[in-house]
Amino acid sequence: MKKLFIETLGCAMNSRDSEHIIAQLREKDNYETTDDLKDADLILINTCSVREKPVSKLFSELGIFNKKKKVDAKIGVCGCTASHLGDEIIKRAPYVNFVLGARNVSKISEVLHKDKAVEVDINYDESEFAFDDFRTSTYKAFINISMGCDKSCTYCIVPKTRGDEISIPIDLIIREASRAVDGGAKEIFLLGQNVNNYGRRFSGDREKVNFTKLLQELSKIKELQRIRFTSPHPFHMDDEFIEEFAKNPKICKSMHMPLQSGSTKVLKDMKRGYSKEWFLNRVKKLRQECPDVSISTDVIVAFPGESDEDFEDTLDVINQVRFNQIFSFKYSPRPQTQAEHFTNTVDADIASTRLTRLQNIHTDILDEINATSLGKTYRVYFENLIQDYYVSGRSDENIVIKVKGSDELLGEFRDVKITSIGRTILTGEIVA
Ligand code: SAH
Ligand code: SF4
Ligand code: F3S
C-alpha cells in the first residue's frame, strides 16, 4: 500500500472532509495513512482560511514539506484555502501537484492522477453524494447535514470557500447515522454552518424537512444515545427548535450560540440578523425550557468600528449569560468579504487589550462554574485514552472529564463523581 500523510486544520467539517478523502484514497488508490512525512507517497494539507494566520503559515509549511518529502512524493492542497486561492497556490509553490477545494472533496482520486489539477468550483453539488463510512473515532461520528452557507456575515470568508448553502437529503443522513451506529458509535455530531437552517434548499425536487424534524427522525435510531450539532445560528433559534432541544432526551444539553458581538450596532455591521436583545431573549427561553443547559459561544473582538461602548456591550452579555466556553478571536480581515473594505479599523493594541480583558473575565466565570461541579455526578461517555492510565470523555453538557481506567471503558457510559477541578478537564471517580 502507498502511504498518505494528511494534516487537517480548521473546523469539524474539515475533519469530516479529511475522513472522506482518506476513505476514497484507500478504496480507489490503495493508500494507508502514516504519521511520518518522510515515508509518505502523498502529502495533503486540508486548510482553513477563516483567519489570516493559518493562511500565511501555509506557504512556509509547504516549503518545509517539499524539502523533507521523498523525491517522488506528491503534495496536494485541499480545503478552504484551496478554494479561495485556487491556482495561485501552484503559482507560488510550483512543486504542489494539485489543488482541491472544500466543496470538491469527492474528486480526490481524479485530481491525484492529473498533474497541476485545480478543482475549486464552489457551486459543485456534492449534496447527493454519500460520504464514506470511514471514521477516525469509532465512538463518535461526524455527519454533514448541509454544505456551504447562504448568510453574508461581512467578516466571513466561508460562503466564498464552501459556496451556497444546500442541505443533504434526509435519507442519506439517516443512512449514514445508522451505519455509524451499527459500527459502534453511540454519539453522532451533526455538522453544518447553519444547522438549524437545515432544509432551506435541497438539490432537485425534495420534500421540505426542517432541522427539528431531522432531529426527531434521527432520534428514532434505536442504539443511538447522543446527538450533538454545530453550529446553530441564533437568528434561527425559534421556539419550536428550542422546545425540541429541551424535551428530546437524546439531544445533549449543550448549545453553541455564536454571539460574535454583544453590540446591536456591531451585529448590524456584521450583518448577523439579530440584536443583543434577541440573543439574550433566546438564552432566556433556552434556560427556561432547559435549566441545566451549558452554552458555548464565539466572539470576535475589535471588528471595524467597535467602540469602547460596543465592547462593553459584549462584556455585558458575557456577564449576563456566563457562557461555559468562549472561543474568542481578534477580527482578521479576509479577502472577498465586505468588511475587508471597512476603513474604521480598531487599533491593534486596543484589540489585544480587549481580547485579554474578555478572556480574563471569562476565565473567572469559568472557575466559578467549575467549582460548582465538585462533588456532582455526571453521565460520561468515554472516548479517549490519555496518559498515565486515564480515560476521558464528555458529559451530556460537554464537560471533559477523566477517570483512572483503561481501554475497556472506551465507548461506555458511566456515572462519574467529580473529585478535582481543572480549567479544561475535571477529574472524577466512577460511581456506577
Ligand atoms: N457558521 C458559524 C461560524 C463559522 S466560522 C457561525 O455562524 O457561527 C467560526 C468562527 O470563526 C466564527 O464564529 C467567528 O467567530 C470566527 N471568524 C470568522 N471569520 C472571522 C474573521 N474574519 N476574523 C476573526 N474571526 C472570524
Ligand atoms: Fe460565516 Fe456567517 Fe455563514 Fe457562519 S453564518 S459561516 S459566520 S457567513
Ligand atoms: Fe476554516 Fe473552512 Fe471550517 S475556513 S473554519 S475550514 S469552513
For residue 271 and ligand 1, the question of a CB distance below 6 A is answered with no
For the cut 80, the answer to whether the pLDDT of residue 388 exceeds it is no
60 within some domain:
yes
Count how many domains the chain has. Answer: 4
Give the residue-averaged pLDDT of 82-98: 97
Shared domain for 167 and 269, answered yes or no, is no
Q: Could you report the per-residue pLDDT of 152-184, keeping only the tens digit for each?
A: 999 999 999 999 999 999 999 999 999 999 999
Task: Give the model confidence (pLDDT) of 233-283 as tens digits.
Answer: 999 999 999 999 999 999 999 999 999 999 999 999 999 999 999 999 999
R_g over Cα of the chain: 22
**Cα 165 to ligand 3 centre (Å):** 14
Read off the CATH number of the domain in which 50 is found.
Answer: 3.40.50.12160
pLDDT in tens, 33-83: 999 999 999 999 999 999 998 888 899 999 999 999 999 999 999 999 999
Q: Does the beta carbon of 160 sit less than 6 angstroms from any atom of ligand 1?
A: no
Residue 205: the pLDDT is 84
For residue 367, count CB atoms less than 10 angstroms from its CB and return exposed for 0-12, middle for 13-18, buried for 19 or more. Answer: exposed
Cα of 48 vs centre of ligand 3, distance in Å, is 5
CATH no. for residue 191?
3.30.750.210
On whether residue 128 sits in a domain, the answer given is no
The alpha carbon of 193 and the centre of ligand 2 are apart by a number of angstroms equal to 6
Instruction: List the CATH number of the domain containing 391.
Output: 2.40.50.140
Check whether residue 235 and residue 294 sit in a common domain: no
Residue 16 forms part of a structural domain: yes
Is residue 330 in some structural domain? yes
Cell 467549575 sits on residue: 370
The domain boundary, picked from 229, 252, 275, lies at 252
Residues 205 and 144 in one domain: yes
Same domain, 280 and 240: no
> Which ligand minimizes its atom distance to the CA of 155?
1
Average pLDDT over residues 389-407: 96
The residue assigned the cell 466572539 is 299
Is the beta carbon of 197 within 6 A of some atom in ligand 1?
Answer: no
Same domain? For 248 and 261 the reply is no
Question: What number does the ligand 3 atom closest to the CA of 162 have?
Answer: 7
pLDDT tier at 24, thresholds 50, 70, 90? very high
Pairing of strands 294-301, 325-330: parallel
Q: Which of 222, 252, 282 is the last residue of a domain?
A: 252
Answer yes or no: do 108 and 178 share one domain. Answer: no
Instruction: Name the residue range of residue 309's domain.
Output: 255-371
Q: Can you list the positions of beta strands (E) in 157-273?
A: 166-167, 187-191, 226-230, 254-256
Q: Are residues 278 and 194 in the same domain?
A: no
Identify whether residues 178 and 242 lie together within a single domain: yes
- In a domain, residue 382? The reply is yes
Q: Are residues 425 and 364 in the same domain?
A: no
Does 54 map to a domain? yes
Q: In the listed set 227, 252, 277, which residue is the last one of a domain according to the structure?
A: 252
What CATH number does residue 276 fall under? 3.30.750.200
- How far does residue 158's CA lie from ligand 2's centre (Å)? 6
State whether 336 and 394 are in the same domain: no
Regarding whether 182 and 74 lie in a shared domain, the answer is: no
| 363 and 310 fall within a common domain | yes
Quick check: is 109 in a domain? yes
Q: Are strands 413-420 and 377-386 parallel, antiparallel or unpaired?
A: antiparallel
* Helix H or strand E encompassing 289: helix 276-289
Supply the mean pLDDT for the chain: 96
127 in a structural domain: no
